[in-house]
Chains A and B, each alone.
Chain A
């Protein structure tokens, strides 16, 4: 069963790469390289170390931003979910953050925080945090009433009700929020590098496009997608490690 799932995933990835190769060979656009061209560009970038230098630069705002978003996002989300007062106080901020046209706001951020790391971290956070907060608070609010009553009637303290019932009950949706938030954070990190100062992977993309080296440009994009998929898989592992019951499905009745 496990094996079959893996084979299917592999097949799906292969089908995608094959379609890419065909699309590049047709070609659908002069600026769209084939899969194999992109891969050889990727090999080359890996071999001469350019890719690693780029990621050393890109991962910094990305990791810092995602870490802040995850920790602050979950804490604020719990808080908002548990208290109506904080719901009214904080929810609007995150709804506005989520709806804001970020690309248009980046010049403002640059004016306020300069072109350095701070601005880029903020961009990652604006992308990642709202969905984490909103998912967490929504899940907490939707904890089944009878489970909370069960905890209280069996003498669980307020803290135990939160840690032993509300958080585990909310964890599948919290993790769904983390997954969405982290993918958005990856987009934010690249967006920051394209819009603020071209560094890291964003630099490879911008530079390669400007000299019409499309295989390198797509190789950079491909690498960031692969990294984000690997990261999300790692998150799945963390989830099953922390909350063993989650993979077993849910009893709804």
Chain B
């Protein structure tokens, strides 16, 4: 049994506080409407996926939340504060890792702290901890080109974790790593959501990935861009990472999403 409900009903049933709220966001590039009057709530401490076919504006929405793009109209609020640009409350994980190739892993991970004015020994200590946490201990002085794709994204993740922001914005973070590494990443991500009290906003084009890692999945559809439905899987998360892919609810949701997206994929 899948647990598909419509948006309003769903939000009323939520007891969790809202960490990020997107209200009536529109974004135009010239005459092209990338986003039109989009509203969406992201509950605190949960992972919400933005899922949809290419061109549905999911990355645009994420960048607006990050403060990297300015919306044409509408507001984004993070912890009840209106977003006007990048802030200490959000950290970004990039699809192409965006590591500085001339800097060591340690320097890359401590970059965000450095920009926040944290003093050198302190920031390197913090960075060291997160490098260890993502499993890259011993690679502190390596350079990005010496690492595999998966390890590079772990550096990107450590950099985002190091600044200890409330909201982690992830733009297709696992799309550039191989299938096996991706599975490991997904399991690690579940653990991360559970252990850190952070809000995750996760853009992906993989239906299985979205259903696997999400507390809440927002399906975005293109032309005009809109949130078509919000899905909250209920049961299978508690059954443990190994059981999820065989759970019938998981399989049903994956199937339902594909049915509703199929006609939008060229």
Contact = CB atoms under 8 A, between A and B. Distances in A.
A160 B116 CA distance: 11
Interface stretch (B94-102, B121-129, B181-189, B213-221): B94-102
A243 B102 contact: yes
Interface residues of B, number: 31
Q: Which of B86, B95, B159, B163 counts the most chain A CB atoms within 10 A? A: B86
B102 A153 contact: no
Given A251-B144, A253-B176, A154 B101 contact: no
Given A168-B100, A245-B103, A152 B68 contact: yes
B78 to A, nearest CB: 13
A154 B99 CA distance: 12
Interface in B55-77: 63, 66-68
Contacts of B112: 154-155
B68 A153 contact: yes
Q: Which of A154, A155, A171, A250 counts the most chain B CB atoms within 10 A? A: A154
A2 B149 CA distance: 29
Interface string B112-155: 10011000000000000000000000000001110001001000
B92 interface: yes
Interface in B154-168: 159, 163
A150 interface: yes
Contact of A153 (B86, B100, B101, B144): B86
Contact of B163 (A154, A250, A253): A154
Q: Which of B63, B96, B98, B163 counts the most chain A CB atoms within 10 A? A: B98
A165 interface: yes
Given A144-B96, A168-B100, 12 more contacts: A149-B92, A149-B94, A153-B66, A153-B90, A154-B92, A155-B87, A155-B116, A168-B103, A171-B102, A245-B103, A248-B102, A248-B143
